[in-house]
Amino acid sequence: MNETESRRVVGILNSTEDVIAILEDLLAGEGYVTRAAYIPDFKRGRADLGAWLGELAPTAILYDIPPPYEENWAFYRAMLALSEARPHRFIVTTTNKRLLDSLAGPNDAIEFVGRPFDLGEIAGRVGATLAAIDAGGATGPG
């Protein structure tokens, strides 16, 4: 196994290219292999979400839900319905954590981080999520 295969893959799905670049740098600095995608590419049919998830095989996915929240929550739920999404643990960032907590309800597979977020908090949440997976915690969406 080469070095890349031994490191954990973290997917990054975001609607802001600048944020994608920041998160890639942050997580690469933590030793993770990152694979990022621009959410509008999937929404507009320029990329295939199921294929991206299947080819990437990330251990965890850092996913941002921006306004309009209900529309983007619906897209997130549609993504979770894909068989390729089922084995993955999601860490969701949002500017309206309270609303998304109420939309998601109790679950053990989705973790919300409010924005603006501290980059150290994001790195810590990714590390904690991967540690929970290693310890046999929930791995798929709720």
Mean pLDDT of 61-84: 87
Mean pLDDT of 125-135: 87
Spatial neighbors of 123 by CB under 8 A, at least 6 apart, are 26, 27, 30
Q: For residues 142 and 46, which has the higher predicted lDDT (pLDDT)? A: 46
Coil/strand/helix, residue 109:
coil
What per-residue confidence (pLDDT) applies to 5?
39
Q: Are 88 and 53 in contact (CB under 8 A)?
A: yes
CATH code reported for the domain at 3-134:
3.40.50.2300
Reported confidence tier of residue 14, pLDDT bands at 50, 70, 90: very high
What per-residue confidence (pLDDT) applies to 44?
93
CA–CA separation, 142 and 90 (whole Å) = 10
Q: Mean pLDDT in the chain?
A: 81
Reported confidence tier of residue 57, pLDDT bands at 50, 70, 90: confident
Reported confidence tier of residue 28, pLDDT bands at 50, 70, 90: very high
Domain boundaries, the chain: 3-134
What per-residue confidence (pLDDT) applies to 105?
64
Task: Give φ, ψ of 66 to 5 degrees.
Answer: -95, 175
